[in-house]
Amino acid sequence: MSQRELIVLGTASQAPTRRRNHNGYFLRWDGEGLLFDPGEGTQRQMLFGHVTASEITRILITHFHGDHSLGVPGVLQRMSLDQVRHEVEVYYPADGGAEIFGRLRRASLFHDRLRLAERPVTADGEIGSTPLLRIQARALSHSVPAFGYQLTEPDGRRMLPDRLAAFGIAGPDVGRLQRDGALVAAGRTVTLEQVSAPRPGQRFAFIMDTRICDAVFALADGADMCVCESTFADSQAGLARDYGHMTARQAGAVAAQCGVRMLVLTHFSQRYEADDDLRLLAEAKAEFAGDVRLARDLDHISVPKRAALGRGRRSLAN
């Protein structure tokens, strides 16, 4: 059975607070473990969130501001200490990124046993794939080079037990039909389409420090779960624009326009404390009638179960 959930390791932008650690997000996606934007303190938050270093298969960094990358040295050293043997792919903006990542990796002395495959991101498009997962990037509008990420599972088909029974197909023949697309049963040819229905692949979007731009909509398009920065309240919309950020209301509007199923708000300014959380949530909900979650440190949030085809614009799928 697949396990797809987001573990929120931190939700603070720029500076941590008494209630919020720096950014950090771990996505369990079946056999993949994707660590996004590990800010300072991520290694310790992983312990509290029950995330092990050996689970990490990919590290995705949107940009190299400290609240999104200062946790890299500790995470890498912990992976080395735990003797993680598999290759770990690391994605980051190519513009100046290799030098910065090299400094982070060698920030202190340790016995480096890691097998890292660095994948600098140079332009919009696909940056990684497996038969079960496609990773794409889009350039965002921030004060430094930044990319957002989208994960997409290929569409498939769901077998219909009643239709299989009607054609007398059972046991190993079901697997053969799925593999070959057709088989002969009781003297007649049965196609996969006759005994199955479309099953949409799931989609996850990760959108951090950025102004509203075309890339935000492309990344969020049709997402089952969209993790989106919500640094400011609507009353600071001008400040958000000036510093390359979004408001909670803007995040809600994007989710509504793009057919998002679950919106996860995060990356909050230190000016907002406990009483302000509900304000940010309300502003997003004023624009988006779907499921909105206000991320809190160490939350475990399950990716929604698959929905029907036809949601969103699917612009990145081309």
In this structure, of 55-59, 184-188, 222-226, the range with the lowest mean pLDDT score is 184-188
Predicted pLDDT of residue 124: 97
Q: Any idea which residues carry the catalytic annotation? A: 67
Per the confidence metrics, is the pTM higher than 0.85?
Answer: yes
> pLDDT band at residue 314, thresholds of 50, 70 and 90?
very low
Look at residues 225, 279, 292 and name the one whose alpha carbon lies nearest to residue 253.
292
The pLDDT value given to residue 247? 98
Domain boundaries, the chain: 4-155+200-304, 157-197
Question: What's the CA gap between 194 and 182, in Å, rounded?
Answer: 9
Lowest mean pLDDT among 167-181, 260-274, 299-313: 299-313
Residue closest to 31 by CA, chosen among 138, 125, 208, 153: 153
How is residue 70 written in tokens?
């200062």
Q: Compute CA 293 distance to the chain's CA centroid, rounded to the nearest angstrom.
A: 15
DSSP helix/strand/coil, 63: coil
Res 1 pLDDT > 80: no
Q: What is the pLDDT of residue 198?
A: 86
Backbone angles phi, psi at 283, to 5 degrees: -65, -40
Share of the chain above pLDDT 70, in %: 96
pLDDT digits (tens, 9 = 90+) for 251-273: 999 999 999 999 999 999 999 98
**pLDDT greater than 50 at residue 315:** no
Q: Which residue has better confidence, 56 or 306?
A: 56
pLDDT at 2 over 80: no
What mean pLDDT do residues 115-130 have? 97
**How confident is the model over 159-172, as pLDDT tens digits?**
999 989 988 999 99
**Residue 310 pLDDT > 70, yes or no?**
no
pLDDT at 186 over 80: yes
Q: Locate the DSSP E strands across the chain.
A: 4-10, 24-29, 32-36, 58-60, 88-93, 116-121, 125-130, 133-139, 147-152, 156-159, 182-185, 188-191, 196-199, 203-207, 225-229, 262-266, 291-294, 300-302
Closest CA to 60 of 91, 93, 105, 96: 91
Does residue 313 register a pLDDT over 80? no
What's the average model confidence in pLDDT over 298-311? 81
Q: What is the pLDDT of residues 37-94, one digit of tens each?
A: 999 999 999 999 999 999 999 999 999 999 999 999 999 999 999 999 999 999 999 9
Provide the CATH topology of domain 4-155+200-304. Answer: Metallo-beta-lactamase; Chain A (3.60.15)
Q: Which residue has the higher pLDDT, 35 or 195?
A: 35
Share of the chain above pLDDT 90, in %: 82
Q: Output the average pLDDT for the chain.
A: 93
